[in-house]
Amino acid sequence: MSSIQILDVKKAVLNSMTEEEFANWQVEQGKQVIYHQGCYWQQTLTGFYEPLHWLARLSAEQATCPVSFSWGFRAALRDQNATAANGSIPVHLLSNLQNYSLHILSANRRKHLRQCQKKVNIFQLTSPKLLQEQGYEVVISAAKRTEYLKIPSKTEYLASLTNYVDSKRRLILVGLIGDKLGGYISGYAVSGTAYFEHLYISTEAITTNINLGLVFEFVQACQHSDTIHELVNGLHSPEDEKLCIFKDGIGFSVKHIPARVQMNPIIAQLIRWRYPYKYYRLTGRKERK
């Protein structure tokens, strides 16, 4: 494996962008960004808006809809404005980032991590060549196993790699089993909050516990930054019990970030009735059984 493509993971550092830098990066990638009340917003669903840095804690004055016509918006609030919240953002959040270590993990998870470290070599990726050669097979395998992802064509996948490797703004860690790619993880950070972006694991590599190894090393890279203080591991999906147990077991407990949520009542009722888990992720409100 060429040393040009990979670097020692122990030296990996995730850089944290400012919100303006993040907004400019997203515009470069073709996204529409709206500047409103000192914050950058995006349309995450047709007609529904959220801050581009979606765990940015806004003041009550900032947390207003950025456009004249929409069916809703959601924004996290600062702690001092929590009384203005009428909902929450339920996320798996590692808030004690600098205290994260092997001791955070259960004895069983520590055993799994050591098994991974014996079987998998993890590096920081600095060139798209490895993903161009082996990444598509990993994504296809992960998509078929989880049934969460839309399966791209190979042409679509290769096109998505254009400017994907950007060490100043995105950190990519790869796990190699011999010379074969077993999986990879990517993420970025904005104003001190890091986000997992993609985690793809091939089915045949699952038994090596490569997913745990990649997540653990990504946390270490965040710790190497002087500015990152929290790491987001996705929205809470209580319908996927195994995934929730895994995330909680590696230190990403469920936190409800106070938020202001505004939705058209008719659309809100439709989502609540047909898609209760989506409604929960949008509002933080669970249905009573």
The reported pLDDT for the residue numbered 171 is: 97
Which sequence spans correspond to the domains of the chain?
6-17+99-225, 36-89+260-283
Q: Once rounded to an integer, what is the mean pLDDT over residues 18-44? A: 96
Find the range with the poorest average confidence among 50-59, 122-131, 158-167, 280-289: 280-289
What's the pLDDT score for residue 287?
Answer: 64
Are 220 and 98 contacting, i.e. CB atoms less than 8 angstroms apart?
Answer: no
Domain 6-17+99-225, second-level architecture = 3-Layer(aba) Sandwich (3.40)
User: What is the mean predicted confidence (pLDDT) over 118-143?
Assistant: 96
Cβ neighbours for 141, distance < 8 A, ≥ 6 positions apart: 201, 202, 203, 204
pLDDT in tens, 194-214: 999 999 999 999 999 999 999
Burial, 237: exposed, middle or buried (Cβ in 10 Å; 0-12, 13-18, 19+)?
Answer: middle
Q: What is the pLDDT of residue 54?
A: 92
Residue 268: pLDDT over 80: yes
**Predicted local distance difference test score (pLDDT) of residue 201:** 97
Map residue 162 onto helix, strand or coil. coil
Which pLDDT value is given to residue 77? 98
Query: 96 or 18: whose pLDDT is higher?
Result: 18
Tokens of 188: 């970025």
Q: Stretch 161-188: mean pLDDT, rounded?
A: 96
Q: Give CA–CA dist 118/92, Å, rounded.
A: 28
69-113 per-position pLDDT tens digit? 999 999 999 999 999 999 999 999 999 898 898 888 888 999 999
Determine the pLDDT at residue 220.
95
**Is residue 289's pLDDT more than 70?**
no
Residue 282 has pLDDT above 60, yes or no: yes
Does position 64 have pLDDT exceeding 90, yes or no?
Answer: yes
What is the Cβ-side half-sphere exposure of residue 134, based on CA atoms within 13 angstroms?
16
Q: Which of 174, 132, 170 is nearest to 154 (CA)?
A: 132
Helix, strand, or coil here: 60? Answer: coil
Give the model's confidence band at 288: pLDDT under 50 very low, under 70 low, under 90 confident, else very high.
low
Averaged pLDDT of the chain: 94
Instruction: Give the per-residue pLDDT at 148.
Output: 76
Q: What pLDDT is recorded for position 1?
A: 52
Percent of residues, the chain, with pLDDT higher than 90: 87
**How confident is residue 118, by pLDDT bands cut at 50, 70 and 90?**
very high
Q: Flag whether pLDDT at 257 surpasses 60.
A: yes
Contacts of residue 224, Cβ cutoff 8 Å, sequence gap at least 6: 12, 13, 14
pLDDT tens by residue, 32-52: 999 999 999 999 999 999 999
